[in-house]
Structure 1
Amino acid sequence: MTATAPVEDFATELRELAQTAGAWPFEEARKIVERLKRKPKAEVLFETGYGPSGLPHIGTFGEVARTTMVRHAFHVLTGDTIPTRLLCFSDDMDGMRKIPENVPDPAALKPYLQMPLTVVPNPFGGGYASFGDHNNAMLRRFLDTFGFEYEFASATDYYKSGKLDSVLLKAAEKYEAIMEVMLPTLGEERQATYSPFLPISPTSGRVLYVPLKAVDAKAGTITFTDEDGVDKTVPVTGGQVKLQWKPDFGARWAALDVDFEMFGKDHQTNAPIYDRICEIIGGVAPEHFVYELFLDEVGQKISKSKGNGLTIDEWLTYASPESLALYMFQSPRSAKKLHFDVIPKAVDEYYGFLARYSTQDWKNRLGNPVWHIHSGNPPAIDLPISFGLLLKLASASNAEDKAVLWRMISRYAPGVTAETHPHMDQLAGYAVRYFVDRVKPRRVFRLADEVEADALARLDAALAPLDGTDREAIQNAVLDVGRGIERYQDHKKKSPTGGPGVSFAWFSALYELLLGEKEGPRFGTFVAAYGIPETRALIARALSGELTKGAA
């Protein structure tokens, strides 16, 4: 046996397990493997599309993250024997059809409506030549920060440099066939003026949605009436025209020989059109993956122009990129709300999956999201306190500096420091920011009623003699108080002594009265971390009414 044999044996075993792995990236990767049997290639191209009409949002990142997961799964399935590329393609030659609501001085952009996004002036400053360039840079900045391996492509560059000339000439040759695909999908009025080619006006520079007077496939030109009323003839090559978005989708697939592209459910009904146009122009349509769209807090579809969803920067203010990648991995075919309140859960779920990874066999590891998030190499991280608990500690202590949290972390987990646990330190910083920005302004404390006041007094007495290091004793004391009060008894549950159990109403009351929130962590764990003297002081403030006066 050679020195490399164990490594080779492991790679073979992993590849065999991947053949039947149930995680969705493997399902998609197996489709590409089957595609290569029908259409052998020396290299596989993954593509994602991006419309830079507004600032990039998390859905855009999700396409790249999810595609990267499929790409890695493909490498495992094939033993890393077939090279791949990931091309992030920006449709920055599209005309600006409306002014986004979230730009400074929207009126200044009005003269540039319908002009290509890479011609529209940049309203944000920062040295970028155009609105499209700025938005492209914002996307690349995050992708680079996360460490994605990708190539960036600009539609403007591809059209003007001639990289798409061959498919544009082919589209002119197949003009009638393309029209036969497109016209049945349009209303009667739109049919009368539709053209797959959108000329760039030599007069105004705008992207024109005008009917064509002639298409000369042999000369590679189109003729149309320009905005000045004069008929113009321009070549379809060299960036003087662009394709309508549906033909553009299919033509790009053909031009680049794309093997895999995912897109949102809003594209699903158009997918057969994209496929057919790709085939007409001489290509083979790629494998598709359709994901559900993200919704905002009230259930409306997230829109770049409205700016009603979380931005990439907003998520990263309060949590790590890995937690965001987990949110993208989970249930991509189910509609999910994407707003600030989902962040804490995503953070704790990420670390939960990470903690379980080291105890799993390889079959289960291939289904663990962190294996896909970290391309098969998840880090080993010891996290003694959850993000959810850190948030409650920040709330109880009104922490505006992570040093406050570190005093409690050190009490709860002796020997743990910012130097020994840098991820814990990072999480403490996130927790403080999230508390100050998102929790503190929304806390609502209320006065205890007679039963609740008695319950808090009993809890105070029960905690007084306890050693703060015995977490189970603290939790049992909290439970015992709840069991002794009729309001908080749950007769469907049984206590260890055979009496009634404790209803969640007891813990809800504690969260509302002491923290001003509807829910929280295991209360005994909170007390152990926050401290018994500190918890008793908090109870005293609740009983005195001080918390409801905004002094918290």
Structure 2
Amino acid sequence: MDNSEIYKLAEKSNSWAFVEARNLRDRLNKLGSSAGLDGENPVLFETGYGPSGLPHIGTFGEVARTNIVRHAFYILTGRNTKLICFSDDMDGFRKVPENVPNQDLLQNYLDQPLTNVPDPFEKYDSFGSHNNAKLKEFLNQFGFEYEFVSATDCYKSGKFNNALKEILLHYESIKNIILPTLGEERKKTYSPFLPICPNSGKVLQVNIESINKESNTVSYLDDNTKELVTVSILGGSCKLQWKCDWAMRWFSLGVDYEMAGKDLSESVILSSRILKVLGKSPPSGFSYELFLDSNGEKISKSKGNGLSIEEWLRYGTPESLSLFMYTNPKRAKKLYFDIIPKTTDEYFSHLKKYEEQTAEQKIENPVWHLHNGQPSNVNFPVTYTLLLNLASVCHAEDIDVVWGYVSSYAPNLKRSAELDSLIQLAVNYYKEKIEPYKKYRLPDQKERKGLIELVQILKTLDHNTSSEEIQSIVFAIGKKLEYQNLRDWFKGLYETVLGQSEGPRMGSFIKLYGIESTKLLLEKVLEGHLTNK
């Protein structure tokens, strides 16, 4: 596809990424903005991260999705863009996370800026720096182009000073935006400014007694001495409350696009109102749904529930993680281990379809967006799920065992680093997520009858029999046994042969594992040998 054809298709595409890109373009046109039309002033995309806990997979998702919109926007406009990943690492440390060591040590640093809290892992100069480094490590692993920006650096260097002065000038108006949303007790002490205590270094949530717009200072009563303390709002001596901080950041940095989770919908509205008070228009963006753990609860940095990025990448490909983030961002999705094999296979399915699709279909295919319009041509003859079940049946300890079966199944297939990597992921998943929970059972009378017939038929087949023919045979046996729901027949096969309630398409599995090997395996099932494992 040439650029003009891609542009025409992008203009009418229903892909959420192109919808977002068109909204951003319309905003810039309405404002008469020339951002991105020269090299000096790019269109600015931002993602935000609070390093109060280890970065979780939702943080990665926001960066991945923003990058997808960024590419779609470039396709539509040709404008230069820039992505900044902003860390709110000057925020006060409010709660000790449940998933870190040295918790007693951290308890002593509550309310300190995160960049003043010791690293419980003893690797960096602060907890904030540790979490920032972990985030950058993940983003670099995926090849994202971004600039990392630290709140601590921006406040202390004076980069935010002009914006902070503007906040002070509009102090009353900003308070009037926030106060109606607060409870009666919180209203009494709310201020956009959070002074950093000169003695303890803590981020204070205290009542501001007075402000001075000429000297750029705020004053508050010290809880211990009851004396009036006056501090500058500049140079890192004060931090802003969250919603005001977000608006100030948009104002100071000139952010054009930022998406946010559904739980921050009210914050987006209030921060946008504050930004308008400061004389600027809110950035474009959309509200994505939250990720849930296996219990349907929101994933949390402090709890450490859900999946970490490292855990996903131990069992699934990076591309599968990106696909999970791309698909249906406005629908809440559970994020737990069982979805990794499914999503990995979905990625390869999309990749396989891409080569055969029309130009219009290609631009709607997720892999087009995941690979900036240039998906790789990788086509494996076996699915991840098949490799997983093969590893399960042959009790694979390493990839060579699985590769032996794959090479017999596809003799012309050359061993590659990509395929070895996929097999290793399947072996990891089997060893750690399936083997400890495998539980075989004996076949009941009806299943036993079906297994005996399947063994007899397998004896008559040769290696040229296709997986489709084998699948038809297994299917026909189930119908002959008069199952009301054929799923019960296949479930029985999985539970007696694989020791699990779900499994692969049996025709494909038997073809990969080998007809003779399958026959011997089924005979072990009938003899009751597997239930002794």
**TM-score, length-normalised on structure 1?**
0.93
- The CA deviation string for residues 386-429 of structure 1, in whole angstroms up to 9 with x for no partner, is 0011111011111111111101111111121323xx32221101
Shift of 1:548: 1.6
Shift of 1:227: 4.4
For residues 455 and 388 of structure 1, the distance between their equivalents in structure 2, rounded to whole angstroms, comes to 24
Shift of 1:476: 3.0
- The CA deviation string for residues 263-319 of structure 1, in whole angstroms up to 9 with x for no partner, is 000011222201011111232210121000000001001011000010010000011
Given candidates 452, 458, 477, the residue that maps to 1:481 is 477
Shift of 1:467: 0.7
The corresponding residue for 1:174 is 170
CA pair 397-509 structure 1, distance change in 2 beyond 3 A: same
Q: Does 1:137 align with 2:133?
A: yes
Q: Does 1:352 align with 2:349?
A: yes
* Structure 1 residue ranges, 4+ long, deviating more than 6 angstroms after superposition: none
Given candidates 179, 185, 191, the residue that maps to 1:183 is 179
Shift of 1:259: 0.5
For residues 41 and 546 of structure 1, the distance between their equivalents in structure 2, rounded to whole angstroms, comes to 73
Say whether the 8 Å CA contact 1:469–1:528 is kept in structure 2: no
Correspondence 1:96-115 to 2 at 5 A: 96-115=93-112
The corresponding residue for 2:373 is 376
For residues 86 and 8 of structure 2, the distance between their equivalents in structure 1, rounded to whole angstroms, comes to 33
Say whether the 8 Å CA contact 1:246–1:274 is kept in structure 2: yes
Secondary structure of 2:279's match?
A: coil
Secondary structure of 1:118's match?
A: helix
Question: Runs of 5+ in structure 1 lacking a partner?
Answer: 1-6, 491-502
The corresponding residue for 1:25 is 17
Shift of 1:33: 0.8
For residues 437 and 523 of structure 1, the distance between their equivalents in structure 2, rounded to whole angstroms, comes to 23
Say whether the 8 Å CA contact 1:257–1:284 is kept in structure 2: no
Question: Runs of 5+ in structure 2 lacking a partner?
Answer: 36-41
For residues 233 and 519 of structure 1, the distance between their equivalents in structure 2, rounded to whole angstroms, comes to 66
Shift of 1:544: 2.1
- The CA deviation string for residues 218-245 of structure 1, in whole angstroms up to 9 with x for no partner, is 1100011234423211110100000000
Secondary structure of 1:414's match?
A: coil
Shift of 1:449: 1.5
The corresponding residue for 1:156 is 152
The corresponding residue for 2:218 is 222
The letter of the residue matching 2:418 is H
Shift of 1:489: 5.9
Shift of 1:23: 0.4
The corresponding residue for 2:270 is 273
CA pair 222-411 structure 1, distance change in 2 beyond 3 A: same
For residues 432 and 417 of structure 1, the distance between their equivalents in structure 2, rounded to whole angstroms, comes to 20
The corresponding residue for 2:39 is none
The letter of the residue matching 1:150 is Y
For residues 265 and 472 of structure 2, the distance between their equivalents in structure 1, rounded to whole angstroms, comes to 54
For residues 17 and 112 of structure 1, the distance between their equivalents in structure 2, rounded to whole angstroms, comes to 54
The letter of the residue matching 2:62 is E
Correspondence 1:145-544 to 2 at 5 A: 145-229=141-225, 230-419=227-416, 422-471=417-466, 472-486=468-482, 488=483, 503-544=486-527
For residues 37 and 322 of structure 1, the distance between their equivalents in structure 2, rounded to whole angstroms, comes to 34
Secondary structure of 1:418's match?
A: coil
The corresponding residue for 1:545 is 528
For residues 59 and 34 of structure 1, the distance between their equivalents in structure 2, rounded to whole angstroms, comes to 28
For residues 41 and 52 of structure 1, the distance between their equivalents in structure 2, rounded to whole angstroms, comes to 34
For residues 338 and 147 of structure 2, the distance between their equivalents in structure 1, rounded to whole angstroms, comes to 33
For residues 298 and 547 of structure 1, the distance between their equivalents in structure 2, rounded to whole angstroms, comes to 32
Say whether the 8 Å CA contact 1:255–1:283 is kept in structure 2: no
The corresponding residue for 1:61 is 60
Secondary structure of 2:211's match?
A: strand
Say whether the 8 Å CA contact 1:460–1:536 is kept in structure 2: yes
The letter of the residue matching 2:460 is P
- The CA deviation string for residues 326-375 of structure 1, in whole angstroms up to 9 with x for no partner, is 00011100000001011011000000001111111121111110011111
The corresponding residue for 1:499 is none
Shift of 1:483: 2.9
Secondary structure of 1:376's match?
A: coil
Say whether the 8 Å CA contact 1:463–1:532 is kept in structure 2: yes
Secondary structure of 1:520's match?
A: coil
For residues 405 and 469 of structure 1, the distance between their equivalents in structure 2, rounded to whole angstroms, comes to 21
For residues 105 and 242 of structure 1, the distance between their equivalents in structure 2, rounded to whole angstroms, comes to 27
Q: CA RMSD in A?
A: 1.2
Say whether the 8 Å CA contact 1:203–1:228 is kept in structure 2: no
The letter of the residue matching 1:145 is Q
Secondary structure of 2:286's match?
A: strand
- The CA deviation string for residues 190-225 of structure 1, in whole angstroms up to 9 with x for no partner, is 000111100010010100000001111111000112
Shift of 1:105: 2.0
Secondary structure of 1:215's match?
A: strand
For residues 195 and 347 of structure 1, the distance between their equivalents in structure 2, rounded to whole angstroms, comes to 48
Moved more, 47-56 or 458-467: 458-467
For residues 465 and 364 of structure 1, the distance between their equivalents in structure 2, rounded to whole angstroms, comes to 43
- The CA deviation string for residues 80-139 of structure 1, in whole angstroms up to 9 with x for no partner, is 2x211001000000011010000102111111000000000001122x110000000000
Q: What is the percentage of aligned positions where both structures have the same residue?
A: 50
Shift of 1:538: 1.4
Q: Does 1:95 align with 2:88?
A: no
Correspondence 1:110-121 to 2 at 5 A: 110-121=107-118
For residues 15 and 521 of structure 1, the distance between their equivalents in structure 2, rounded to whole angstroms, comes to 41
Query: Aligned residues, how many?
Result: 524
Say whether the 8 Å CA contact 1:412–1:469 is kept in structure 2: no
Given candidates 5, 10, 14, the residue that maps to 1:13 is 5
Say whether the 8 Å CA contact 1:223–1:232 is kept in structure 2: yes
The corresponding residue for 1:494 is none
Secondary structure of 1:124's match?
A: coil
The corresponding residue for 2:45 is 46
Say whether the 8 Å CA contact 1:203–1:227 is kept in structure 2: no
- The CA deviation string for residues 500-542 of structure 1, in whole angstroms up to 9 with x for no partner, is xxx2222111111100112222101101110122112211221
Shift of 1:436: 0.4
The letter of the residue matching 1:521 is P
